[in-house]
Structure 1
């Protein structure tokens, strides 16, 4: 019989045991940001629709086709957040963070929402970890942001990805390039919607994934060949810093991100094991965004958004599991009510010491409890019965080898710490 209610189309559930990989990915990526001095920021799940229309860009697919927009009970138009940068910049302006120490360095994690055609790796509720560094235009900061993402992937054990890098220029060269690109595109035999896009934001046409459009634009002029001296010097400095950091990259002059606010350094992490949805994270610099959404200053910024869902899929494609980081280490098997009371208290002490512990509940017999211990993924089972309780001992069983040993109840923490550390 089918369930009466199911999750909305295009929105995945994460539940045990597979959710352990999801949680480990999110935590590992966030930890990489925290190690680099990025403090946590918690953003609203919905904002004023105009924030995203102005900040992300009305010509983008995100704004024109993919946003979840609705009127609230007060008649205000609000939108479930499709990305994180505009919300962070709004918070920086609203709370005056731009008047304090710069750069403002923050990280965030959570769900974002886009109405897309669901497929593997493309969800209507997508999970991301992001960072933003606002207030300083320094190529070394660009390199740091990229290196933070790269460190997160490496700490997860991901190897089959590559970093693609380019520059989208600045205000001193983008207007001239826009005109050159627009002239090229409007001489092509494009369909009318694509011609309209070429008139509004010609750079977006280079991001068109349709084979016929990609073929027609193969000879299009590229921003990288029209950089101003200042933009060229900035990009060269970013690459030098990445080289010093040991972050490998490939130049991709045709790289175009899906949001309008990107300038200068632009990058994407790609994993070919994911098929069409190969982008697992990316970002870039967004000079001018603060002024665009109403800031009195015009501070520059740079950041990234990493797809947690796609990173989980990339790890699976490589046969890598990180679930062990959140797995139960010790499983307690009480035989009798008195033993259960002792094990409940012992589990509390072990958890306080940083050891993850689960117990067999429901008065199972020894056979059923040991099966549950095996299924838990724990390394060690603690078995406590009436005899052990009388002796003030407990039995430790290595669930991988089957080896068993008795230790005193007062020595359990020391013994477990030594075994789990090894």
Structure 2
């Protein structure tokens, strides 16, 4: 019986995984410059964490979570997104009491959602995200957006579009909620079952419906921007002024609501405008979530963050035909000829690696021609050839595969001399 990979997952093989490593490396370096520190939370959490924070009217909670009961009868869920776990940790570890505020964190890891697999969308996917907790300053909204935008630009993406919206504060959202109910209620029977269930619970979610997005009432739905009170409007204007100061172009889209219940005030998405990228253009999404910390048992604490899919990041790079500067090739390949020489290369290989070189040798007892082919496949810069005669003479020949130039070194001085040729 053959066992195949589960639907909606993928094996990331050598040759491809280096792209992931480069994105992760750049993300970590950028976070260090922005003073965001890494946090690692469990892959599974209590189910209640997600139903309370993400929202029980969302598609994630209603349809997409991988939930199971452990042997103790506890309901646990594989994390479908990163923010809830970070906020839970913030509360449980009492980070709100740390001297340095706001708390600026980033995470990178697997998330799980049971949804229909398609290009750039998987049931197990890797998400990179940041969270800034403890500040209600609109400047940090702009900082969070700029961090995401900077990462995409650092990797060479150019065809980017930032879309922003304000979901307002509690007062603004309450007024907008009533307007939405009045707008949709007379014709709610024409909408899908999910929208009908959301009408009273969370009518804002109706605007995020994929099935009914072309319905006429969607186009004429009241905009949240019409219901922003003075404080919310001033906040949103500040965010826009800061983005302008950071020279980050953006568009305001009053229909942008995001798919999670915890958002308020700033909401944003970064999209790819690259030709042929696909129907789903969103690369990154996030926003402000004042009130979420209290929802999971903590003190009143404002927060903002984003999450982005590494899979979709790689798809966007491919759509723009961006060649990544991957660290391909090795420094030296040891060619050993004869049993004694092969035995000697075991220790010599270890010394080369300890000296800081990327190095390899033959493990299949191949002839010299096959060993040179192996060195070529590994894109080796040099081949160091050691035969029985060279071993007896305490010599080793080093050949540059780029120029063909060959140099003979004493075995005793080989590593020091070889190192000097790299300096």
TM-score over 0.5 (shorter chain): yes
**Cα deviation digits, residues 301-337 of structure 1 (max 9, x gap):** 1111110111111112222233614x34324132235
Match of 2:196?
Answer: 195
Separation in structure 1 between the aligned mates of residue 418 and residue 158 of structure 2, nearest angstrom: 39
TM-superposed deviation, 1:226: 2.1
Uncovered stretches (5+) of structure 2, i.e. residues with no partner: none
Residues 86-137 of structure 1 show CA distances to partners (whole Å, capped at 9, x for unaligned) of 1001101111111112111111111000000111111110111111111111
Preserved CA contact (<8 Å) 1:331 1:376:
no
Aligned in 2, Cα 1:6/1:402: closer, same or farther, shift over 3 Å? farther
Q: Is the CA contact 2:332–2:357 (under 8 Å) kept in the aligned structure 1?
A: no
Out of 413, 417, 421, the position equivalent to 1:415 is 421
Distance 1:181 1:348, change over 3 A: farther
SS in 1 for 2:179: helix
**Could you say if the C-alpha distance between residues 95 and 61 of structure 1 is closer, same or farther in structure 2, counting changes exceeding 3 Å?**
same
1:253, 1:115 → 2: CA distance? 29
Q: 1:210 to 1:383 in 2, by over 3 A?
A: same
Structure 1 stretch 169-178 or stretch 364-373: which is displaced more? 364-373
Partner of 1:155: 154
1:348 CA displacement: 4.5
* 1:370 alignment partner, one of 372, 376, 396: 372
Task: Evaluate the alpha carbon distance shift between residue 381 and residue 40 of structure 1 in structure 2; reply closer, same or farther with a 3 A threshold.
Answer: same
Matched, 1:309 2:308: no
Greater CA deviation, 316-325 or 7-16? Answer: 316-325
CA drift at 1:356? 3.5
Distance 1:355 1:247 in 2: 42
Higher mean C-alpha deviation, range 255-264 or range 237-246 = 237-246
Distance 1:341 1:267, change over 3 A: farther
Contact 1:29 1:153 in 2 (8 A): no
Cα 1:17–1:235 change in 2 (3 A) is: same
Rg bigger for which structure? Answer: 2
After superposition, the Cα gap between the structure-2 partners of 1:339 and 1:98, relative to the gap in structure 1 and judged at 3 Å, is farther
2:22 equivalent among 18, 24, 31: 24
CA RMSD of aligned residues (A): 2.2
Quick check: 1:343–1:384 contact (8 Å CA) kept in 2?
A: no
The answer to whether the aligner puts 1:110 opposite 2:113 as a matched pair is: no
- The total of aligned residue pairs comes to 410
Report if aligned partners of 1:30, 1:129 keep a CA contact under 8 Å in 2. Answer: no
User: What's the CA shift for 1:48?
Assistant: 0.4
Q: What secondary structure does 1:130 align onto?
A: strand
Judge which range, 63-72 or 407-416, deviates more: 407-416
Alignment partner, residue 323 of structure 2: 321
The aligned counterpart of 2:331 is 330
* Residue 89 in structure 1 maps to residue 72 in structure 2: no
Q: What's the TM-score once normalised by structure 1's chain length?
A: 0.90
Which structure 1 residue ranges, 5 or more long, are not aligned? none
The separation in 2 between residues aligned to 1:283 and 1:376, in whole angstroms, is 41
TM-score by length of 2: 0.90
Q: Residue 219 of structure 2 aligns to a residue in which SS?
A: coil
Q: Distance in 1 between matches of 2:211 and 2:235?
A: 32
For the residue of structure 1 that corresponds to 2:249, the secondary structure is: coil
Answer yes or no: is 1:49 the counterpart of 2:47.
yes
